[in-house]
Structure 1
Amino acid sequence: MPIRLELPQTFHKLILERQATQVGLWVCSGSATAAEIVASSGCDWVLVDGEHSPIGLESTLDILRAMNAYPAVPVVRVPVNDTALIKQFLDLGAQNIMVPMVHTVADAEKAAAAMHYPPRGVRGVGSALARSARWNRVEGYLQNGSDHVSLTVQVESAESAENAEAILAVEGVDAVFIGPSDLAASMGLLGQQNHEDVVAHVLNTIRAANAAGKPVGVNAFNNEQAQQYIDAGADFVAVGADVQLLAASTAALAEKFGAYNTKG
């Protein structure tokens, strides 16, 4: 009897089912071991970052396999809104894709089309060759492919914040994720993601997503600001990254014990 496999629930559907803020961590190191440590921490989701890290196709595959034993949901951020790249990440088994720098409706439509087979989209067909369908061991994958993928687009510029309502209305956009750092930079406020004007854009986007009934997330490594966004209606937040946490904890240890090294 042939083996028939089932795929996990997609990220946006899990958010809607759980009806609780999903707390996430980033993996930026490129290490499958670090990814497994993060995934086994008890967090709800993990952002596997292919935009600002050395994580490519092969390392994403290793990371997904390392995370597979744990309930944390992997969300893979591709480096750019590129149809061919999105196809490759989907085919290696990344069900939940995040696309950065989506500024316009046209950008959102391009990303959405890349996620789905014709006639709904333009995704190339290669399920028999790909881990996405577990090499055709997921019954009906081609016919039901859209049920197995989730698209999160990033609102991270003043332009995208102004277009947020229209972007949210695009068919195939399942969730939005706000990037305050790039948003601040686009507003001439580089490094000032806590600026009141930046925060206002974030809060407006959260309200727009809530009104549209679509999950909305935000990156907030500052604990107080993360709580502010949760209170405002954010459905998922990213509160730290493997490299950031390692940098902070090692520096703290070095500073603490370095004070004891003075002799005399």
Structure 2
Amino acid sequence: MRTNPVKRLLKAGQPSVGTWLSLGNITAARFLSRAGFDWLTVDVEHSLVNVETTTHMIASIADAGCVPLVRVPSNRHDHIKRVLDNGGFGVVVPMVCTRQEAQDAVSACLYPPFGTRSVGGSVHALNFGASPVEYYAKANDEILIVLQCEHIQAVRNFDEVYSVPGVDAVFVGPNDLAASMRDPTGRPPASDAFQQALADILAGATRIGVPAGIHTFSIEEAKARIAEGWQFVAVNSELKFMADGAKQVVDGLGLGKGGDLAKY
């Protein structure tokens, strides 16, 4: 049975870098899975992708030798079970704000006696190059469980929420975290306050011995975050790569058409 190299990198204290797939496109997943990233996350929370297309995308990623992860729409047992049964090597669970929510997410990922994941399916075994029997015996050791820290209240209660056994990484959702810090008038937080929240997350993760992750938007930012100690690092998305590449060509040729694709 295939092992999950991302899980091992994180346990060893090493950085692991991937990107987000937000377009629901199987062909894009096939190409990016060969680009050299450690992992690719299919975003089912904020995209149009359905479970059938997600299944084909994660199969393509796995067949290329990359690690397929899925950000589920919400912290529900059925969402988590379905993407794992269809071959995901792990899940990214959004908006985990309480210890009970963290426990529920971990439980949904693991087979008894350590969790409540039900036994069934065969696509998961196919992606891991194993028989179903072998998969059921070893899956608990290979599934990557990443919980998102996206609310300032979760930052304040960090140790209580994310110290649940079985959590492999805590991943910051920068946009939602900043939104949760708006003042009563809707004004966003000051840069210093937001950066302090990120520092608190990194310190908390170090304190409880869980790798911290964050979404970045440039090579320079990714390098800086890795140097700070962040391990599970996402860089852009396939949409952002496409938009940035197109803008570079348009600007370089001085087309002056007033295009605004790069803002996405």
- Specify if TM > 0.5: yes
Match of 2:195 among 192, 196, 199: 199
User: 1:181–1:193: 8 Å Cα contact kept in structure 2?
Assistant: no
Task: Give the drift of 1:49.
Answer: 0.9
Greater mean alpha carbon deviation, residues 140-149 or residues 240-249: 140-149
Separation in 2, partners of 1:260, 1:145: 53
Match of 1:114 among 108, 115, 120: 108
Task: Give the drift of 1:171.
Answer: 1.6
Task: Give the drift of 1:183.
Answer: 0.3
Please, what TM-score do these two structures have when normalized by structure 1?
A: 0.86
3-state SS of 1:141 partner: helix
Separation in 2, partners of 1:192, 1:251: 28
1:247 aligns with 2:239: no
Aligned length: 253
3-state SS of 1:8 partner: coil
User: 2:107–2:115: 8 Å Cα contact kept in structure 1?
Assistant: yes
Separation in 1, partners of 2:187, 2:9: 33
Separation in 2, partners of 1:73, 1:193: 35
3-state SS of 1:240 partner: strand
Give the equivalent residue in structure 2 for 1:259.
255
Structure 2 unaligned segments of length 5 or more: list them: 258-264
Give the equivalent residue in structure 1 for 2:35.
41
1:133 aligns with 2:125: yes
Give the equivalent residue in structure 2 for 1:233.
229
Paired residue type of 2:2:
L
Greater mean alpha carbon deviation, residues 250-259 or residues 164-173: 250-259
- Cα gap change, 1:21 to 1:191, in 2 (>3 Å): farther
Match of 2:204 among 181, 201, 208: 208
Separation in 1, partners of 2:126, 2:179: 41
Separation in 2, partners of 1:27, 1:216: 20
Task: Give the drift of 1:260.
Answer: 7.9
- Cα gap change, 1:260 to 1:154, in 2 (>3 Å): closer
- Cα gap change, 1:154 to 1:25, in 2 (>3 Å): same
Give the equivalent residue in structure 2 for 1:7.
2
Give the equivalent residue in structure 2 for 1:145.
139
Residue by residue over 1:3-61, the C-alpha shift from the partner in whole angstroms, topping out at 9 and shown as x without a partner, is xxx133263223224x4322211111111111122221122221211111122211111
Task: Give the drift of 1:68.
Answer: 2.3
Separation in 2, partners of 1:194, 1:93: 41
User: 2:59–2:87: 8 Å Cα contact kept in structure 1?
Assistant: no
Separation in 2, partners of 1:69, 1:191: 46
- Cα gap change, 1:134 to 1:259, in 2 (>3 Å): closer
User: 2:72–2:79: 8 Å Cα contact kept in structure 1?
Assistant: yes
3-state SS of 1:51 partner: coil
Structure 1 unaligned segments of length 5 or more: list them: 1-5
Please, what TM-score do these two structures have when normalized by structure 2?
A: 0.86
Greater mean alpha carbon deviation, residues 189-198 or residues 158-167: 189-198
3-state SS of 2:35 partner: coil
3-state SS of 1:234 partner: coil
User: 1:203–1:232: 8 Å Cα contact kept in structure 2?
Assistant: no
Give the equivalent residue in structure 1 for 2:50.
56
Give matches, 1:171-210, under 5 Å.
171-188=165-182, 195-210=191-206
User: 1:184–1:198: 8 Å Cα contact kept in structure 2?
Assistant: yes
Paired residue type of 1:159:
Q
Separation in 2, partners of 1:53, 1:86: 16
